[in-house]
Structure 1
Amino acid sequence: MPDSSRDTAEGAGWGSAEPGAYRRLMPTEVQKISWLDPRMLWAARNGVLASWFGDPTGRTRSRWVAQRAAAGAPADKVIRRAEADRFSFLVIGDTGEGDEPQYAVVPGLLKAGRDTSFAVLASDVIYPVGSADDYDGKFFRPYRDYRAPIYAIPGNHDWYEDLGAFMRVFCGDAPPLPPEAKPRPLTRAWLRSLLWHRPRDGDGGRLAEARRLRSEPAQQAVQPGPYWAVDAGPVRIVAIDTGLLGTLDAEQGAWLREVSLDPRPKILITGSPLYVDGEYRPCAIEGGGTVDDLVRDPAHRYVAAIGGDIHNYQRYPVRVEGRTIQYVVCGGGGAFMHATHTIPRVDVADVTEDDFRCYPLRGDSLAFYSRLYGRRLRLRRFFTLTEDEATAVIAERLGIRPGRAPGATRITRRTRLVASLLGTGRRPGRKARFRLPVRKIYTQLFSPSSATYSPPFFKCFLRVDVSPEAVRLRCYAATGNRAQEVDPPVEDEVTIPLV
């Protein structure tokens, strides 16, 4: 088995490694996404408008679902696949920036997933606003050599153009929704409609040509809408759409309650993770209750809940009434990397730091961001930490065993200062000091700086192996280096008994 980041720095992708061959898969010209561009921020304004003037996602989603039902989609929105009792599938989250980090995932994914029955894209299929013409280089081209069907659930970025392109690609070339009646003047809905971003004229003109890249019969799949379930072998996989603001409308909530009554063991796939960054986010359902209420109910037999949206890997094994549910974040499929070194020492739902797993390791995340800030601020000598320095200072600040033993290194005042400035988590009870914007502000305004275009990228994908006895989850790393392309390392693994 190849070294992972938990074994060696080389296994993490550091050092003078040979670059991978992923660039051969890329188109000649790649447009880089820049969230510093005011035009890009303006195009992606719908999430802010929804939080200010009311979220129309639920109503729009209901219209899409009604259209699909009228076209003959199954009323229960369940896809029934003729899988054997033993099969495998992939989960890839937050993929579609169309640049080097996304394509770097592909070679390892094709190798580790060559015998899988299908794949699921979990959240944010296309950045920045889910446009139809972006599907060529951000969906069809990168996954053209994956010979099985791909299902998807939308993320908030796919909703920035009211989900039209997503529905055309994944739901049987669904036609556009008819226009709605204009809202009454001077209402919140009226103000929202004046400012709402909509697809540009002619968007999707290249879609027919792009489809040829995944045109084999074995690659085709049509799903009944933006949320759905798959019955495959001994399990039911339930996928929900959390829209622009990370919640469920009442209609989808009623459907989720209904499909959860099936007696089979279940895996939930959601655009918004329920445990993330050491916090509990149960996901509200309009009208009352939460998604996690349904996941925790022993009658529903959920064994795992896998969410995208956050661009790294995390796992929380939560004990619920004598059983363990694996809550997983799997959003490292291509978009810029969310830091893990900002996650405080974990203590949530009786999950401690010894139980918690993440990728990249906190030390590697801190080393990555220290290089990034050193380059952007032109202060390399001050900011840049070696991977050993970063690993050691993380262990000191959080009081934890490092994920990988650091080499002989001395923690200096500069090391501690850089770790503090870059938002490194701290032990409970310690006061926060001034930090540079690494987490929320950084990822909203400065994401292009964390979308580096040379390895290591610290991307990942999930392989799920199902049998009547157990579900096995494995997180594979994709660094962009040749060694991890040829033999992708496993960064985390857990087996969940079903019997």
Structure 2
Amino acid sequence: MSDSSRDTATGAGWDTEERGSYRELMPHRVEKLSWLNPKTLWPARNGVLASWFGDPTGRTRSRWVEQQAAAGAPADGVIRRKEEDHFSFMVIGDTGEGDEPQYAVVPGFLKVSEGTRFTVLASDVIYPVGSTDDYDTKFHRPYQDYQAPIYAIPGNHDWYDDLHGFMRVFCDAPPLAPQPVPRSSVRDRLRSLLWHKPRPADEQRLAAARQLRSSPAQQARQPGPYWAVDAGPVRIIGIDTGLLGTVDAEQGRWLREVSRGPLPKILVTGSPLYVDGEHHPCPIDGGGTVDDIVRDPEHRYAAVIGGDIHNYQRYPVPVGDRTIQYVVSGGGGAFMHATHTIPRVDLAHVTEDDFRCYPLRGDSLAFYSRLYGRRLRMRRLFTLTEAQATAVIAQRLGIPPTRAQNPPVRVTPRVRLIAGLLGAASRPGRAARLRLPVRKAYTQLFSPGSATYSPPFFKSFLRLDVTPQSIRLRCYAATGNRRQELDSPVEDEVTIPLV
């Protein structure tokens, strides 16, 4: 097995220049997504409008579900697969930017996924606004050689198109009929006036794209934006958290219902419940939270996997006499969210010794130092080696270096300055210092616009092997380098008991 980033810098992809074969899979012309471009920002305005004028996604979601029920979708939203007691499936989150980082995941994914029965895409299938016309190069083409069904849950970017592209591709649903402009309040009228509305799909382009995944083994039709899959000894439940990371009352009632019963369960959500050292239980309209449902011992949840944040994290949270694995898996192709900003973990009885993330904090800091150095044209000042970044992270958090430092690296004042400017987390009690907007404004705006198109990319995906006794969850890395493409490193592994 190949070294991982926890073993060596080579395992992290730092010191090899041979790129993988992924570029052979890409279309000849690839549009590089930039969030600095007003043509990208303006169509993606619905999230801001929802936070200002009220979120209409609950009503729209109900209309989609009602339309699907009228078309014959199962009333309980459950897909029943005749899996054996032993089977495997894949999970990838936040995939669809359609550029080199997304395609760099594909060769390793195809190799690791051999023998799996299906894949789940966890959040943000298509960037920037979930348009039907983008599915050819950002979904059908990259996964055309995966000979099994793919199910998906939408993320906020898929909702920027009012879910029309998502519902067309994954549910074979016709467009919703237009609704009259609401007259109930000034806020509703303003929102309706400014709201980005989906444009008609290019039917010829969609038909050609569907031919790329047209074999009988690849076909899947899910009942709606939220669903459950009964597969062998487990039930996998996917929920739709819309634009603002909440669940409407109707979906909340459904979630409580499908969570009952003796089968162990895995929840897949577009909004992770534990992320960046914080707990986000996900409110349900009308009362309660998603995490209340997960923690109920009668519901038998073994794991929760969330997308939206573009890296990998795992929190093994003790709940009564069991441990629920809360996982972030959003490293499937979109630009990388920093991990070096995650503080020393100490919440819900999960300590730093229990916590896992990919990329490692030191690799994240080294990655962002190069990116900022290039963006600001100050490479000599900003760029940190992976060894320097690893050493300063260990010093700031008071933890041992994840990778052995041989010989030990001296943390100079310059290294400390750059780490502080780039938002590297520090131990509690330290005074806040000037820092650049790495975690919030930068990763939301400037990071996609400055995305790197040369390895290492620090992407990831999951394979889950299920038996009646346990679930084996492994996180695999995709760096874009040939070495890791031929033998994808395992960055994290945990076996979750079901008995």
Question: SS where residue 325 of structure 2 aligns?
Answer: strand
Identity in percent: 78
- Residue 269 of structure 1 is matched in structure 2 by 268
Which structure 2 residues correspond to residues 357-436 of structure 1 after superposition, within 5 A?
357-408=356-407, 409-436=409-436
Residue identity matched to 2:123: S
Report the Cα distance in structure 1 between the residues aligned to 2:14 and 2:401, rounded to whole angstroms: 17
| TM-score (normalised: structure 2) | 0.99
Report the Cα distance in structure 2 between the residues aligned to 1:81 and 1:207, rounded to whole angstroms: 27
The answer to whether the 8 A contact 1:65-1:225 is kept is yes
- Residue 157 of structure 1 is matched in structure 2 by 157
- Residue 243 of structure 2 is matched in structure 1 by 244
Task: Give the deviation of 1:188 after TM superposition.
Answer: 1.0
Task: Give the deviation of 1:201 after TM superposition.
Answer: 4.3
Report the Cα distance in structure 2 between the residues aligned to 1:135 and 1:88, rounded to whole angstroms: 26
- Residue 479 of structure 2 is matched in structure 1 by 479
Task: Give the deviation of 1:204 after TM superposition.
Answer: 4.9
Task: Give the deviation of 1:202 after TM superposition.
Answer: 4.7
- Residue 141 of structure 1 is matched in structure 2 by 141
Report the Cα distance in structure 2 between the residues aligned to 1:451 and 1:292, rounded to whole angstroms: 34
Residue identity matched to 1:310: I
Task: Give the deviation of 1:114 after TM superposition.
Answer: 1.1
The answer to whether the 8 A contact 1:130-1:166 is kept is yes
Does residue 280 in structure 1 map to residue 279 in structure 2?
A: yes
Residue identity matched to 2:285: E
Report the Cα distance in structure 2 between the residues aligned to 1:367 and 1:406, rounded to whole angstroms: 15
Report the Cα distance in structure 2 between the residues aligned to 1:444 and 1:39, rounded to whole angstroms: 16
Report the Cα distance in structure 1 between the residues aligned to 2:467 and 2:450, rounded to whole angstroms: 39
Report the Cα distance in structure 1 between the residues aligned to 2:168 and 2:448, rounded to whole angstroms: 29
Question: SS where residue 161 of structure 1 aligns?
Answer: coil
Question: SS where residue 76 of structure 1 aligns?
Answer: coil
Which structure 2 residues correspond to residues 226-375 of structure 1 after superposition, within 5 A?
226-375=225-374
Any stretches of 5+ residues in structure 2 without a counterpart? none
Task: Give the deviation of 1:179 after TM superposition.
Answer: 1.3
The answer to whether the 8 A contact 1:68-1:174 is kept is yes
Question: SS where residue 10 of structure 1 aligns?
Answer: helix
Residue identity matched to 2:175: P
The answer to whether the 8 A contact 1:388-1:407 is kept is no
- Residue 85 of structure 1 is matched in structure 2 by 85
Which structure 2 residues correspond to residues 181-200 of structure 1 after superposition, within 5 A?
181-184=180-183, 187-200=186-199
Residue identity matched to 1:323: R
Task: Give the deviation of 1:450 after TM superposition.
Answer: 4.8
The answer to whether the 8 A contact 1:165-1:204 is kept is no
Task: Give the deviation of 1:205 after TM superposition.
Answer: 4.5
Task: Give the deviation of 1:462 after TM superposition.
Answer: 0.5
The answer to whether the 8 A contact 1:269-1:306 is kept is yes
Question: SS where residue 9 of structure 2 aligns?
Answer: coil
Question: SS where residue 11 of structure 1 aligns?
Answer: helix
Residue identity matched to 1:386: T
Task: Give the deviation of 1:203 after TM superposition.
Answer: 4.6
Residue identity matched to 2:318: R
Task: Give the deviation of 1:38 after TM superposition.
Answer: 1.4
| TM-score (normalised: structure 1) | 0.99
Question: SS where residue 474 of structure 1 aligns?
Answer: strand
Report the Cα distance in structure 2 between the residues aligned to 1:450 and 1:266, rounded to whole angstroms: 39
The answer to whether the 8 A contact 1:95-1:333 is kept is yes
- Residue 207 of structure 1 is matched in structure 2 by 206
Deviation readout 1:21-67 (Å, 9 max, x if unpaired): 00000000011111101121111000000011110000000000001
Runs (4+) off by over 4 Å: 201-205
Report the Cα distance in structure 1 between the residues aligned to 2:108 and 2:201, rounded to whole angstroms: 36
Task: Give the deviation of 1:432 after TM superposition.
Answer: 1.3
Report the Cα distance in structure 2 between the residues aligned to 1:148 and 1:407, rounded to whole angstroms: 45
Report the Cα distance in structure 2 between the residues aligned to 1:165 and 1:386, rounded to whole angstroms: 42
Cα 1:207–1:33 change in 2 (3 A) is same
Report the Cα distance in structure 2 between the residues aligned to 1:452 and 1:305, rounded to whole angstroms: 30
Task: Give the deviation of 1:298 after TM superposition.
Answer: 0.4
Does residue 453 in structure 1 map to residue 446 in structure 2?
A: no
Residue identity matched to 1:385: L
Any stretches of 5+ residues in structure 1 without a counterpart? none
Higher alpha-carbon deviation: 195-204 or 346-355: 195-204
Question: SS where residue 390 of structure 2 aligns?
Answer: helix
Does residue 113 in structure 1 map to residue 108 in structure 2?
A: no
Task: Give the deviation of 1:407 after TM superposition.
Answer: 3.1
Report the Cα distance in structure 2 between the residues aligned to 1:78 and 1:201, rounded to whole angstroms: 30
- Residue 439 of structure 2 is matched in structure 1 by 439
Residue identity matched to 2:98: G
The answer to whether the 8 A contact 2:16-2:481 is kept is no
Which structure 2 residues correspond to residues 14-29 of structure 1 after superposition, within 5 A?
14-29=14-29
The count of aligned residue pairs is: 498
Report the Cα distance in structure 2 between the residues aligned to 1:94 and 1:51, rounded to whole angstroms: 22
Pairwise CA RMSD: 0.9
